[in-house]
Amino acid sequence: MESGGSRSSRSGHGPKLHIPQSDLICKTGCGFFGNIAWQGYCSKCYKEYFLQRQQHQAAFVPSPVERSQSDASTFFNKPESHSSTLPRHGFSRFEEKKRHNQEMRTTAVKSLFRKTPTKGLGSPKSKDKRALSPESHSAIIELDQFLQTLPQNAAHHAYSFLRMQAQKLDGLVSSGVLTPLEISDRVHNIYQVFDEKLKTHSDMTNSSMESLLDHSERYLTRLLYKKLFCPHTCDDEERDLAVQKRIRSLNWISAPLLDCRINELDSKVRDILEKAITHLIEMDGQRAPQDKLASIINCSKLVFEMLGFSQPVSADDFLPALIYVVLRANPPRIHSNLNFITRFAAPGRLLQGEGGYYFTNLCCAVSFLENLTSDSLGLSSEEFDRYMSGKSIPFASLQAGVMVSEGLRLMYQNMSTLSELKHKQTNLQQQILELKSDMEIFNECVGKEVVECLQQFPVQIRGKRAPIKPDEVQPNESDTLKLLPPPLLPHKISAESALPPLVDSISSNLEHLVPDVAAAAPVGRRVVAATDNLLDGSIQELDLLALNELSISCSSSGEPNTLLLETTTDDDPFSSLSLTVQGRIIPCIPCENISPTGQQLPPSN
Amino acid sequence: MANRGNQAGTATAAAGGAAQRPNGATQGKICQFKLVLLGESAVGKSSLVLRFVKGQFHEYQESTIGAAFLTQTVCLDDTTVKFEIWDTAGQERYHSLAPMYYRGAQAAIVVYDITNQDTFGRAKVWVKELQRQASPNIVIALAGNKADLAAKRAVEFDEAKGYAEENGLLFMETSAKTAMNVNDIFLAIAKKLPKNDGAGGVGGSSGQGRRLDRAEDGNKPASSCCK
């Protein structure tokens, strides 16, 4: 004890990153390195020292509260800050710690149940609170919270029953007279009796009853986890170690040996594999059987995901993959965990349902690995022995990066990536060549077709024409120009001159009406002024304005004109008359854009 | 032997010719049964189940990643039968693990491939093992799958039929590809299963297996203490 004190004075105050070399050597001077957690002794010397001190202090038994304090603080505080009067159990032998924990728990649980339920289970004022692990504590709080959602009567009943049973079970388990199977039977018994009791409560719905059963299972197992999990009376722990060792010795097994189509070099697959492994390892951290099952289900789902890129995954693929995941994960205390679930999960949970199926698969996987022989891998026994003894490693495993260091695995991965890239590169090059030849062929084809087309339809190259300016073109220069009507010109009308057909008819009428005037019609552009011989002059005029004026003048003319005027003034004079002259108007559209051949020329500015 | 070509996706459709009832109706009994699939790998165990449960063959759907554990409900008269189908790995090397799967199973389908005599031989081994080691009143059905490949047939119908009759098995030749007899074989099993003592009563309270019966023995000391 003094040595502990001197140690802390030497190493200075508070946490320090740098520790002098002399502090690292075991204080007894045995030559091995010591450890702060062992008060500066090496493990062997500390053991001796510890036993010695125990004998000295046989009379002194610390109270559970003090113990729990020391237990908790050894992990979280620096040992130096501790007073050296408290024994340090944190890193002492596992068995020792377990025993201490148990004593502590017994007192804690018993004192807990002395409380009345009305106080609230998780009230922080309890002085025993420190004695409970956070897990057990939260188990109580969770049950408390759930019970508050139930009818009061049922909740009270359920609580007092569970409390009683937990207490009784705790006593029985602590006494250590029961075999694991007996404990399991008792727990199942509790579930069943509880179920029957619940059925007497008519105010409970089926679903709330289900979840109450679920909660009771969770409560009991979490509260008494330390005692129910891997009890002393069985050899679970040894088997855990055996399985772990076995799996470690099988680490040379690669996926193909198991008929398993996991391609570990695919980074996507490896990511999922790692997640699955995490879930499987996490199972050990869960306490309630249903939480452990949930971890298994999560792991299994990831296994499906890992395999199911191309097709639905059947058990033929799933089981080998799960075995492989177990092999890679080497989950801690797997045997104890499986046993715990088997013993304490509610009835029906394991023989049915998704959880049951995946749990069965996991059991199968572990059992397969435990009983694995050379036959089950399709290897000869010499080969198998050689691999088991580590004398050689299957080449496939080496390739798959199973048994190699991280660096080597990375190298293999990079090599595969590189080869993939190279493959892609080659492909690309090939495709480039293909494209090139395609383009050449295309080029040839087009050329050929063009030549063919040219042969079929020879091109007649015409001489370049001078741009034609319609204004300058003489009427007799081009034949096509003759198709166009002649430009409008004021007509001189003589008696003999031929009029356009419609105008002709009108004029003939007019002539008929007023023959003498028509005959002597003078020609003038502005006819308005010529009111005396208006009829004649205006008919000659093709200008609309003139025609309009004509109609006006007609309306103002005398009796003999009535017949004609009725026909022209019925409607708008334009509509009737413009029709008659339309043939003459259209050609007046400016025709700069029209080539002499009648084709449209592109705008030439 | 009606070739049921429908894509039996829902429970009512799967009920086929039996008295049908809307899917949600629960006035009848609900029975839950565990059914294991046994047989050599690649005889089409999972195809058969996928056809029964999802009406699929080959077409891969995102939702169908896992075909190892599936459930399907069929309606039979006034009873709703919920099948929980456990697929097993068919490889020879995993054969020894099979008892873990069929423990507590009420029904089993042993599948073989009619184009492969070896798978029929393996099926016989399974049947023998089931009769010896599984629960005594397990309903066993023998399914000769890949009946659509009758041209390449290696196992005669009469041979298998005779074997099934000798051993008191249900027998049908099925085809997951054409859906022939797929629903029928499950329905036949559902009919043959005892409905009164099956796991899970009305209301679907979680099935109480034999585990409970054993716990019953240790009942007295516990009940004396509580309350």
- Contacts (Cβ under 8 Å, ≥6 apart) of A329: A276, A277, A280, A281
- Which of the given ranges, A118-127, A238-247, A382-391, has the highest pLDDT on average? A238-247
pLDDT digits 0-9 by tens, B74-110: 988 888 899 999 999 998 889 999 999 998 899 999 9
Least confident residue range of A318-322, A339-343, A500-504, B141-145: A500-504
Which residues of chain A neighbour B41 with C-beta distances below 8 Å? 316
Could A315 and B68 be called an inter-chain contact, meaning their C-beta atoms sit closer than 8 Å?
yes
Residue with more model confidence, A550 or A82: A550
Tell me the C-alpha to C-alpha distance, in Å, between residue A62 and each of A58, A88, A592, B166, B205.
Answer: 11, 12, 121, 74, 49
Residue B206 confidence (pLDDT): 36
User: Does the model's pTM come out above 0.80?
Assistant: no
**CB A310, CB A269: distance < 8 Å:** no
Residue with more model confidence, A495 or A402: A495
Residue A392 belongs to some domain of the structure = yes
Could A192 and B219 be called an inter-chain contact, meaning their C-beta atoms sit closer than 8 Å?
yes
pLDDT digits 0-9 by tens, A194-243: 888 888 877 777 788 888 888 888 888 888 888 888 777 778 888 899 99
Residue A360 confidence (pLDDT): 93
- Which of the given ranges, A329-343, A564-578, B15-29, B55-69, has the highest pLDDT on average? A329-343
Residue A357 belongs to some domain of the structure = yes
If 0-12 CB within 10 Å is exposed, 13-18 middle and 19+ buried, where does residue A9 land? exposed
> With 90 as the cut, is the pLDDT of residue A3 above it?
no
Arithmetic mean of pLDDT, A49-62? 66
Q: Which residue of A has its CA nearest to B100?
A: A360
Residue A505 confidence (pLDDT): 53
Could A367 and B42 be called an inter-chain contact, meaning their C-beta atoms sit closer than 8 Å?
no
Could B227 and A161 be called an inter-chain contact, meaning their C-beta atoms sit closer than 8 Å?
yes
Residue A413 confidence (pLDDT): 78
**CB B189, CB B139: distance < 8 Å:** yes
Residue B213 confidence (pLDDT): 35
Same domain, A249 and A397: yes
Residue A498 confidence (pLDDT): 54
Same domain, A261 and A396: yes
Which residues of chain A neighbour B101 with C-beta distances below 8 Å? 360, 364
- Contacts (Cβ under 8 Å, ≥6 apart) of A8: A79, A80, A82, A84
Residue A569 confidence (pLDDT): 44
Could A193 and B89 be called an inter-chain contact, meaning their C-beta atoms sit closer than 8 Å?
no
- Contacts (Cβ under 8 Å, ≥6 apart) of A314: B45, B46, B67, B68, B87
Residue A363 belongs to some domain of the structure = yes
Residue with more model confidence, A151 or B9: A151
Share of chain A above pLDDT 90, in %: 15
pLDDT-derived band at B61, boundaries 50, 70, 90: low
Q: Which residue of A has its CA nearest to B39?
A: A316
> With 70 as the cut, is the pLDDT of residue A423 above it?
yes
> With 60 as the cut, is the pLDDT of residue A442 above it?
yes
Answer whether A310 touches B (CB < 8 Å): yes
Residue A185 confidence (pLDDT): 87
* Mean pLDDT score across all residues of chain A: 71
Q: Which residue of B has its CA nearest to A378?
A: B93
> With 50 as the cut, is the pLDDT of residue A310 above it?
yes
Residue A432 confidence (pLDDT): 96
Nearest to B27, CA basis, from B71, B80, B83: B80
Q: Which residue of A has its CA nearest to B43?
A: A316
Same domain, A255 and A392: yes
Answer whether A463 touches B (CB < 8 Å): no
Nearest to A108, CA basis, from A142, A67, A76: A67
C-alpha R_g of chain A:
55
Amino acid, single-letter form, for residue A588: C
Same domain, A395 and A279: yes
> With 80 as the cut, is the pLDDT of residue A583 above it?
no
Q: HSE of A229 in the Cβ direction (CA atoms, 13 Å)? A: 23
Residue B194 confidence (pLDDT): 86
Residue B197 confidence (pLDDT): 53
> With 90 as the cut, is the pLDDT of residue B57 above it?
no
pLDDT digits 0-9 by tens, A127-148: 344 456 777 788 888 888 888 8
A89-98: long-range contacts, CB 8 A cutoff, minimum separation 24: A90/A37, A91/A35, A91/A37, A91/A38, A92/A50, A93/A47, A97/A71, A98/A226, A98/A232
Residue A424 confidence (pLDDT): 96
Residue A510 confidence (pLDDT): 55
Which residues of chain B neighbour A351 with C-beta distances below 8 Å? 34, 103-104, 207, 209, 211
C-alpha R_g of chain B:
18
Arithmetic mean of pLDDT, B60-81? 78
Question: Choosing among B36, B87, B210, which should be mutated to test the A contact, i.e. which has the most A CBs within 10 A?
Answer: B87
Report A:329-348 residues touching B (Cβ under 8 A): 346-348
Could A367 and B97 be called an inter-chain contact, meaning their C-beta atoms sit closer than 8 Å?
yes
What is the distance between the alpha carbons of residues B72 and B80, in angstroms, rounded to a whole number? 10
> With 70 as the cut, is the pLDDT of residue A591 above it?
no
pLDDT-derived band at A470, boundaries 50, 70, 90: low
Answer whether A171 touches B (CB < 8 Å): no
The per-type count for chain A, helices as H runs and strands as E runs, is 26, 0
Residue A109 confidence (pLDDT): 47
CA distance A139 to chain B (A): 21
Least confident residue range of A20-24, A186-190, A549-553, B192-196: A549-553
Residue A373 confidence (pLDDT): 86
Structural domain of residue A276, as residue ranges? 240-403
CA distance A188 to chain B (A): 6
Residue A160 confidence (pLDDT): 86
Amino acid, single-letter form, for residue A183: I
Q: What is the dihedral of CA A216, B201, B66, A284, to 10 degrees?
A: 20
Could A314 and B69 be called an inter-chain contact, meaning their C-beta atoms sit closer than 8 Å?
no
Could A193 and B223 be called an inter-chain contact, meaning their C-beta atoms sit closer than 8 Å?
yes
Q: What is the dihedral of CA A483, A487, A489, A494, to 10 degrees?
A: 0
- Contacts (Cβ under 8 Å, ≥6 apart) of A228: A173, A183, A187, A221, A340, A343, A344
Q: Give the nearest partner residue to A360 out of B100, B206, B225, using CB atoms.
A: B100
Of A403, A435, A468, the residue at which a domain comes to its end is: A403
Q: What is the dihedral of CA A344, A350, A354, A359, to 10 degrees?
A: 80
DSSP-derived letter for residue B110 is E
Answer whether A181 touches B (CB < 8 Å): no
What is the distance between the alpha carbons of residues A528 and A220, in angstroms, rounded to a whole number? 124
Number of domains in chain A: 2
Arithmetic mean of pLDDT, B40-47? 88
What is the distance between the alpha carbons of residues A359 and A484, in angstroms, rounded to a whole number? 100
Residue A426 confidence (pLDDT): 96
Arithmetic mean of pLDDT, B14-38? 62
Could B206 and A347 be called an inter-chain contact, meaning their C-beta atoms sit closer than 8 Å?
yes
Arithmetic mean of pLDDT, A566-593? 47
Within chain A, what is the greatest distance between any pair of CA atoms?
165
Residue A571 confidence (pLDDT): 47
Residue A512 confidence (pLDDT): 54
Could you give the strand order of the β-sheet that contains B69-76, starting from the edge strand earlier in sequence? B69-76, B79-87, B29-38, B107-113, B139-145, B170-173
CA distance A350 to chain B (A): 10
Which residues of chain B neighbour A189 with C-beta distances below 8 Å? 215, 218-219, 222
Residue B59 confidence (pLDDT): 55
DSSP-derived letter for residue A132 is S
Query: Can you read off the two tokens belonging to residue B162?
Result: 């005779």
> With 80 as the cut, is the pLDDT of residue A246 above it?
yes
Q: Give the nearest partner residue to B87 out of A301, A305, A315, using CB atoms.
A: A315
Q: What is the DSSP string of A421-484?
A: HHHHHHHHHHHHHHHHHHHHHHHHHHHHHHHHHHHHS---PPPPPPPP-TTT--TTT-TGGGGS
Residue A523 belongs to some domain of the structure = yes
Query: Can you read off the two tokens belonging to residue A167?
Result: 């207490």
Q: What DSSP element (H or E) covers B86? A: strand B79-87
Q: Give the nearest partner residue to B94 out of A182, A319, A354, using CB atoms.
A: A319
Could B97 and A346 be called an inter-chain contact, meaning their C-beta atoms sit closer than 8 Å?
no
pLDDT digits 0-9 by tens, A520-545: 444 444 444 444 444 454 444 445 55
Arithmetic mean of pLDDT, B150-154? 91
Ordered domains of chain B (ranges, CATH): 29-192 (3.40.50.300)
Amino acid, single-letter form, for residue B206: S
pLDDT digits 0-9 by tens, A147-167: 888 888 888 888 888 888 888
Could B97 and A206 be called an inter-chain contact, meaning their C-beta atoms sit closer than 8 Å?
no
CA distance A173 to chain B (A): 14
Residue B142 confidence (pLDDT): 95
Could A348 and B209 be called an inter-chain contact, meaning their C-beta atoms sit closer than 8 Å?
yes
**CB A87, CB A70: distance < 8 Å:** yes
Residue B139 in 3-state DSSP? strand
pLDDT digits 0-9 by tens, A272-294: 999 999 999 999 988 889 999 99
- Which of the given ranges, A3-17, A216-230, A499-513, has the highest pLDDT on average? A216-230
> With 60 as the cut, is the pLDDT of residue A514 above it?
no
Residue A592 belongs to some domain of the structure = no
pLDDT-derived band at B26, boundaries 50, 70, 90: very low
> With 60 as the cut, is the pLDDT of residue B222 above it?
no
Arithmetic mean of pLDDT, B128-152? 92
Residue A222 confidence (pLDDT): 86
Which residues of chain A neighbour B32 with C-beta distances below 8 Å? 352
pLDDT-derived band at B184, boundaries 50, 70, 90: very high
* Mean pLDDT score across all residues of chain B: 76
Arithmetic mean of pLDDT, A162-174? 84
CA distance A245 to chain B (A): 22
What is the interface size between A and B, counted as CB pairs within 8 Å?
Answer: 150
Phi and psi torsions of A25, nearest 5°: -80, 145
What is the distance between the alpha carbons of residues B91 and A316, in angstroms, rounded to a whole number? 7
pLDDT-derived band at A407, boundaries 50, 70, 90: confident
Residue A393 belongs to some domain of the structure = yes
CATH of the domain at A259: 1.20.1050.80
First to last CA, chain B: 60
Answer whether A176 touches B (CB < 8 Å): no
Question: Choosing among A357, A358, A369, A376, which should be mutated to test the B contact, i.e. which has the most B CBs within 10 A?
Answer: A357
> With 80 as the cut, is the pLDDT of residue A414 above it?
yes
